[in-house]
Each structure stands twice: as structure tokens, then as C-alpha cells.
Amino acid sequence: MSRKYFGTDGVRGEVGKFPITPEFVMKLGYAAGRVLVNHDQDSRPTVLIGKDTRISGYMLEAALQAGFTAAGVNVLLTGPLPTPGIAYLTRALRLEAGVVISASHNPFQDNGIKFFAEGGNKLDDALELEIEAMLEQPMATNVSLELGRARRIDGAAERYIEFCKSTFPNELSLKGLKLVVDCANGATYHIAPKVFHELGAELVEIGCEPSGYNINDKVGATYPKTLQAAVVEHHADFGIALDGDGDRLIMVDAAGSVYDGDQLIYIIAKARAARGELKGGVVGTVMTNLAMELALGKQGVPFGRAKVGDRYVLEMLHADGWQVGGEASGHILCLDKHSTGDGIISSLQVLASLKQLGMTMAEACGDWQPFPQTLINVRHNGCDWKRAAAEPLAQAETALQGRGRVVLRPSGTEPVVRVMVEADDKSLADTWARTIAQAIEQVA
């Protein structure tokens, strides 16, 4: 069954427009609450609700709280806390579910709701479908005797800070390192600086003054220019950029060069493989750079490709029993450290890996350079674009054999086909991307 409301990472959209309205979010909380109650008849379920720093978070938090308590579910409220922090506390407090009010790297006008199941894992498809089915039913508030309670909890941020620090090797410290930390004016603003400071680093903080309106605004993982300039200006050793809800990571070295998720995953995997501690291989996505896959192969490290979306990377890691994977966007998974992508913990893994390798970031990634990628979005009107692209696709794959690859991927949110060609020569990537795109345009 296809999902009506849930995307690859919960429900998301512009605030004030369906489905991100207080009415729908209250009903979403009620529907999720009813599903939890149906699965746990013997006791009253409890959920944890956290949020990022968007102004709309107050409104949506109240709506969710009302929906859950109306369904007979107890609610614990943390206030601003990163998405991976909610996942951790859901597991640590042995709760039935965790909920995050965030639109991640989107601008402040957007917001969203994403869920974690018991144990801090992403909600599986079956539970999402149960919630969607319940949304089609009328909302009926429990009688007063069967309503849930809601309360704010203290110490959530401090518990998560200690958890993050615990994932860094005991024999290492960050003393002697100068770091620029960019928190995107988001949920990590009061978390990340304390983690790095308490591990010994000298800090320069940017993007740590949220106003409710400035989340991800020319700061954070989706806008590394601010971090690059700050690293160079302050003569720092590294720059660390997180996104609005703290699950993405982009880093910058002392020279001001940007390292995306692919490169950071490679550094982590390389260090673990060198120590004989890499369990299995690495999972990326269909968009992961081919040069990274080839470089891992030379080291005897298996590589798998999942669909785009960290939930699909996670599914493949679990299926294969592997631990390390992620996306170029900066979603990085180290499942021996956390059950979900965590920007702070991933950055600590990169820093630890570099110390263990005795290398700079440039040296650690020096045995491969990303192949040029050309991406063209082609709008279509429901035409048979696969048939139109078949002949040039076959020609491109023959021409690129051993030198590159082609990915054709329909958008899940708009009538667009994404044509991505990757090759060891940029002109080759450009030529074949245009050829395939033009073939689709002729029938669109």
C-alpha cells in the first residue's frame, strides 16, 4: 500500500497549509496514540516529544500533546532537542515512541512530524500504514478517567550530552584542537558546543542563537560557506556543520575545503578497516559517488547501494548486519554508536578516525577524488519516459562501462525525472546527461 501522508521521513510541509496545521497534527497525534494503545492493552503508553527551534514548534507541540492525551497516552516534553537525542531518550527511558517536531534542513516556514518506535528505531512501514488508516476514522476523545497526562522533563539535554561524549574513545581527547561548530540556529545550539568543549576542544560557535525564524538561514550543513569562512578566519583545525535537527553533518578542514557525507563515511570506514574493526561493508545510495565505491573496493571493503533516503540505508544495514553507511547529504549511520543518524556523534567518529589514522582529512581521502556528476531534472506529463530513455540509456551505459554510471530516478513529490550521469571526465557526464534528458523532453 502507498502512504498518503508519510514521506521518507515523516510528515512535512509548509506551516498553515495541509497537512501542517494544528487540526491535522492533533488528529495525527490522536491516531498515533490510538495505534499505541491498541498495541499495548496492558498499560498506558508514554511518548516523548521534542522539537527544533522553529517558531511553529510551540503550536504543533500543543496540538500533538492534545491528540496523544485525548487517546489516553502519557506525554513527556523535552523542549528543543535534536532528532537523534529523541531517538536516544526513547530507548534509554524505555518508552513506547518518540516524536520530533522538525523539518530538518528546510527553512523556518516549514515544519514536520517524525516518529521513532520503541527502542529508538525509525517507524516501520506497517505502523505508518496503521496510523494512516486510523487517520481516516473520526477522532473521539477518551472519557476523563482514561485521558493521558503531559509533563515537561528536566535533564534531557544533559543526558544526551553525556551519551554523545560516551561514543568517543576513552583513550582520546580533543585537547589541542580548535573547532568551529555551526549549529544552524537549530536544535543542537545548546548541545553540540558543550559536547566538544567537555571533550577538550577550543571552540568558535556560529549558528547558536536561534530566534525561531533563522534556522538553516545561511548557516548549517546545507550552507557550508559560512563555516568555511569562519574556519579560515579563526585558523581552526576543523569546522563542523550540523543541520536544523542535528542529524546531518558536513565538515571543513583547516584549508577551508568542504567534505560531504560520502567522504566522511569513507574516513570512518577506512580507519575501522585499518584496525580490523569494520563489521561487513558500507551502505550508500544510488547517488553515492562511484569513486568512493571503487576506493573501498581496493581495500577489500564491500559496498551496497540503497534507495535514496536514510531509512533505506538503515534497512539495508540491518539486513546485511553491517554498521556504517549513509548519504552524501551528511546523513551518516554508525549503528554500533546509535540507532539513527547523528551529526554530533558522526563528527566525533570522524575526528577519532583521523587521530587513529594519523592523517589530515585531505590525506585520508587522498586515494580517491569524487567523479564529476551532472544532474538534470526533466519535467514530464506522465509520459512513458522509461521507454523514451531506453535507447540513449543503453548507449550511455556501454560508453561509460568502467568509467561511470547513469541513474534515472523519478521524484516522489513532483512530475520530474532526475537524470544523473557520473563519469571520470566531466564532459562525458555532461554529454550523456543532456542526451538522455533531451530524449525524455521530446515525449514529455
So what's the pLDDT on residue 412? Answer: 65
Domain coordinates of the chain in residue numbers? Answer: 11-154, 159-256, 259-348, 373-441
Rounded to 10 degrees, the C-alpha dihedral 193/195/201/204 comes to -10
Residues placed in the known binding site: 104, 243, 245, 247
With a cut of 80, say whether residue 2 has pLDDT above it.
no
* pLDDT classification of 291: cutoffs 50, 70, 90: very high
* pLDDT classification of 411: cutoffs 50, 70, 90: confident
Residue of 205 and 444 predicted with greater confidence: 205
* pLDDT classification of 413: cutoffs 50, 70, 90: low
Contact between residue 251 and residue 240 where contact means Cβ atoms under 8 Å apart = yes
pLDDT, tens digit, 9 for 90 and up, residues 92-120 = 999 999 999 999 999 999 999 999 999 99
Domains 11-154 and 159-256 share a fold: yes
pLDDT, tens digit, 9 for 90 and up, residues 212-236 = 999 999 999 999 999 999 999 999 9
For the question of residue 104 being annotated catalytic, the response is: yes
With a cut of 70, say whether residue 261 has pLDDT above it.
yes
Fold of 373-441: TATA-Binding Protein (3.30.310)
Give CA angle at 212 (203, 56), nearest 5°.
Answer: 140
Q: Average pLDDT of 399-418?
A: 88
For residue 220, the 8-state DSSP code is: S
pLDDT, tens digit, 9 for 90 and up, residues 16-45 = 999 999 999 999 999 999 999 999 877 899
pTM check: above 0.85? yes
With a cut of 70, say whether residue 367 has pLDDT above it.
yes
For residue 146, the 8-state DSSP code is: G
Residue that has been written with the C-alpha cell 534556522 in this structure = 215
Q: Average pLDDT of 332-342?
A: 97
Mean pLDDT of the chain: 95
Annotated catalytic residue within 104, 339, 346, 347: 104
With a cut of 90, say whether residue 239 has pLDDT above it.
yes
Q: Average pLDDT of 45-72?
A: 98
With a cut of 60, say whether residue 1 has pLDDT above it.
no
Helix 385-399 to helix 426-441 angle (10° resolution) is 160
Q: Identify which of 408, 341, 342, 330 has the alpha carbon closest to the alpha carbon of residue 374.
A: 408
May I ask the CATH class of domain 11-154? alpha beta
274 vs 14: CA distance, rounded Å: 46
Q: Which set of grid coordinates corresponds to residue 434?
A: 543532456
Instruction: Tell me the CATH architecture of domain 159-256.
Output: 3-Layer(aba) Sandwich (3.40)
So what's the pLDDT on residue 284? Answer: 98
Instruction: Tell me the CATH architecture of domain 259-348.
Output: 3-Layer(aba) Sandwich (3.40)
Residues placed in the known binding site for Mg(2+): 104, 243, 245, 247
